[in-house]
Amino acid sequence: MSFIEEIKRRRTFGIVSHPDAGKTTLTEKLLLFGGAIQEAGAVKSNKIKKGATSDFMEIERQRGISVATSVLAFEYKGIKINILDTPGHKDFAEDTFRTLTAVDSVIVVIDVAKGVEEQTEKLVKVCRMRNIPIIVFINKLDREGKDAFDLLDEVEQKLGLKVSPLSFPIGMGYDFKGIYNLWEKNVNLFTEESKTDIADTIEISNLQDKKLNTLIGDTAANTLREELELVEGIYPKFDKNEYLEGQLQPVFFGSALNNFGVRELLDCFINIAPVPRAKQSEERLVEPAENKFTGFVFKIHANMDPNHRDRLAFIKIVSGTFKRNTPYLHVRLGKKLKFSSPNAFFAEKKQIVDVSYPGDIVGLHDTGNFKIGDTLTEGEKINYKGIPSFSPEHFRYINNADPLKSKQLYKGIDQLMDEGVAQLFTLEMNGRKVIGTVGALQYEVIQYRLEHEYGAKCTYENLNVHKACWVETEDETTEEFKAFKRVKQRFLAKDKQGQMVFLADSAFSLQMTQQKYPSITFHYTSEFH
Ligand code: G4P
């Protein structure tokens, strides 16, 4: 297969949702479609379910929360599909934001009873900022939920999307009879059989066809006709280009648990979802079809195998082909690195691969060379943009609880920060270290990992900080800046890159500081250049 054909057959996407909407279940069912072809008997077993969750870390197993993202790849109808799993828990939102820099499109899962929830709103906002194409999957139709039209309204209003339903439910909950597929013009009936097998669909290209009445009864058939007429009247017709530009979002209904409506979603997905897209670097736009390899690190995963203390850096390939045992330039370090065992991901397994293509994710064994956002190339000095740090929400001093293990502690902190678990700030005044996180849970993760992976012990101490702001000034020699540094010394710190950060203790003090030092700009994200 040619290089261009390889690119064209790849679809790399993420599934995002509020916890419990059914993201994991949907992921599993999608994997079954890929796996079912080779192992039809395995469909009913629990095997894939176990592998599909990204529970590589002990702590994750303990908590039952997906603390890490991983990659699940499979083939379906000749298309290579890469699913980047994202943690739904809000404390790991930054992990999800970073993963979104590596996807070409997303599927948003919404619980039919709960409607649009908080995490979904936040994540979709990030997708919309980047114009990522979105497909909406409304899940759990086997349960009583909100009226389909009300839900579509909610999706439009809360998520700011312009929806175009491509399937529509026939009843719901106890009365759920199936779905009408507007994309394929057929009916898929929800029966006992459809729960264990992938049901056959029945073509109904003309809605007036009496066959519809026979299938679902007169009342349901008439209601469906009326509803579909409404759908046609209210919602824009699906347009692939608008979808690809992030301006229109197709909606599917189904029940992931019952593997219902999932085939329809997948078949449409492989038709419309974008092939690997060009990516902007600080220097130029890079096209996937360029001959030379480029890629960037969007995720670092530590200790996937508890017996080996290595890290795996996840690289999204943007252009060219990535080959095993070939020296590539690590742009930030300015040195060439070679990888003898790059991993590719197939369903729940890792495998060493010789060649990978744009859209693919490779996992590279790392001994501490990589940080989130690093770029690898064949020699060109480019840097991919778009993985900024945001101001954390929680701040605590970190103290060493075992003086004999201080080296291990600092090494551990250093590596965990490179993985993007949290952010480290070092106070200018006394050199004390402050850990900033998005959620309180990360403190426990850090403590646990420092102990189990590095043999170090830490304690925390509360610190009252409202926001961390990255400080920018055109001229560091002005009297104003010098005065700022003197007066606010207690609140100044350096981030891991050595950038100056102002740790404001309240919204009020931040506002006062901004007024008092107008030539200084205070940024909520580390990327403002
Ligand atoms: P998440 O990854 O988005 O957090 O959600 P997950 O797939 O884990 O699903 C959350 C719960 O919702 C699970 O139940 C799952 O079985 C259920 N679920 C998913 N899809 C459907 C559906 O289409 N219909 C119905 N009725 N339920 C669905 P659980 O009891 O929390 O977990 P489990 O013990 O079943 O695994």
Phi-psi region of 217 (alpha: psi -120 to 50; beta: other; left: phi over 0): left
Q: Which atom of ligand 1 is nearest to the CA of 19?
A: 4
CATH class of 394-523: alpha beta
Ligand 1 close to Cβ of residue 84 (< 6 A): no
Does the beta carbon of 139 lie inside 6 Å of ligand 1?
A: yes
Between 311 and 456, the more confident residue is 456
Q: What are 127-149's pLDDT values in tens digits? A: 888 899 999 999 999 999 999 99
User: Does 25 sit in the ligand 1 pocket, CB within 6 Å?
Assistant: yes
pLDDT value, residue 53: 37
pLDDT of 401 strictly over 90:
yes
**Confidence band, pLDDT 50/70/90 cuts, at residue 184:** confident
Can you tell me which atom of ligand 1 is nearest the CA of 25?
7
Least confident of 66-70, 87-91, 329-333, 411-415: 66-70
Report how far residue 487's alpha carbon sits from residue 489's, in angstroms, rounded to the nearest whole number: 6
Q: Decide if 250 contacts 241 (C-beta within 8 A).
A: no
List, by residue range, all CATH 3.30.70.3280 domains of the chain. Answer: 394-523
Give the pair of three-digit tokens for residue 342. Answer: 């790059």
**Residue 20 in contact with ligand 1 by CB distance below 6 A:** yes
Question: Percentage of the chain with pLDDT > 70?
Answer: 87
pLDDT score of 235:
96
The pLDDT of residue 66:
35
CB-based contacts of 416, cutoff 8 Å, min separation 6: 302, 422, 446, 449, 450
Topology at the third CATH level for domain 279-377: Elongation Factor Tu (Ef-tu); domain 3 (2.40.30)
What is the model's pLDDT at position 44? 31
pLDDT at 153: 96
- Rounded to an integer, what distance in angstroms lies between the CA atom of residue 528 and that of residue 518? 17
Q: At what angle do helices 262-272 and 23-36 cross, to 10 degrees?
A: 80
Residue 446 pLDDT > 70: yes
Q: Which comes out higher in pLDDT, residue 230 or 216?
A: 230
**Per-residue DSSP letters for 184-221?**
TTEEEE--HHHHHS-PPEEE-SSTT-THHHHHH-HHHH
Please tell me whether residue 380 adopts helix, strand or coil conformation: coil
- For ligand 1, the distance from its centroid to the CA atom of residue 154, given in whole angstroms, is 22
**What's the rounded mean pLDDT across residues 494-509?**
93
| Inter-CA distances, 527 with 8, 142, 473, 524, Å | 32, 45, 14, 9
* DSSP reduced 3-state for 17: strand
Q: Is the CB of 173 under 6 A from ligand 1?
A: no
CATH 3.40.50.300 in the chain, residue ranges: 3-74+87-173+236-272
Residue 453's pLDDT band (boundaries 50, 70, 90)?
A: confident
pLDDT bracket for residue 88 (50, 70, 90): low
What's 384's DSSP letter?
B
Q: Are 261 and 293 in contact (CB under 8 A)?
A: no
| Euclidean distance between CA atoms 29 and 442, whole angstroms | 30
64: left (phi over 0), alpha (psi -120 to 50) or beta: left
pLDDT of residue 418: 84
Q: Looking at the CA of residue 21, tell me the nearest atom of ligand 1.
A: 3
Higher pLDDT, 16 or 349: 16
Question: How large is the average pLDDT for residues 96-104?
Answer: 89
Give the model's confidence band at 444: pLDDT under 50 very low, under 70 low, under 90 confident, else very high.
Answer: confident
Question: Is the distance from the beta carbon of residue 95 to the nearest atom of ligand 1 less than 6 Å?
Answer: no
pLDDT, residue 56, reads: 36
How many H-runs (helices) and E-runs (strands) does the chain carry? 16, 31
Measured in Å, residue 71 CA sits from the centre of ligand 1 at: 20
What pLDDT is stored for residue 38 in this prediction?
A: 42
Residues near 222 by beta carbon (within 8 Å), at least 6 away in sequence:
none
Output the pLDDT for position 312: 83
Q: Compute the distance from residue 315 Cα to the ligand 1 centre, in Å.
A: 30
Which band of pLDDT confidence, cut at 50, 70 and 90, is reported for residue 405?
Answer: very high
Residues 10-27, mean pLDDT to the nearest whole number: 91
pLDDT in tens, 198-229: 656 777 777 788 888 888 888 889 999 999 99
Taking the centre of ligand 1 as the mean of its atom positions, its distance from the CA of residue 126, in whole angstroms, is 25
State how far Cα 394 lies from the chain centre. 22
Burial of 90 (0-12, 13-18, 19+ CB in 10 A): middle
From 17, 23, 25, the mutation candidate for ligand 1 (largest count of ligand atoms within 8 A of CB) is: 25
Q: Are 12 and 316 in contact (CB under 8 A)?
A: yes
> Is the per-residue pLDDT at 65 higher than 60?
no
For the domain 3-74+87-173+236-272, what is the CATH code? 3.40.50.300
Percent of the chain having pLDDT more than 90?
56
Report, as an integer, the average pLDDT of 435-445: 86
CA distance from start to end of the chain: 42
Which residue's CA lies nearest to atom 21 of ligand 1? 257
pLDDT bracket for residue 47 (50, 70, 90): very low
pLDDT reported for residue 46 = 30
DSSP 8-state class, residue 526: S
Q: Is 401 in the pocket of ligand 1 (CB under 6 A)?
A: no
For residue 244, what are the CA distances in angstroms to 15, 103, 108, 135, 250?
Answer: 17, 13, 15, 10, 11
Q: Using an 8 Å Cβ cutoff, are 78 and 271 in contact?
A: no
The tokens 């010394």 sit on which residue? 489
* pTM of the shown model: 0.83
Given this model, what pLDDT does residue 198 score? 60
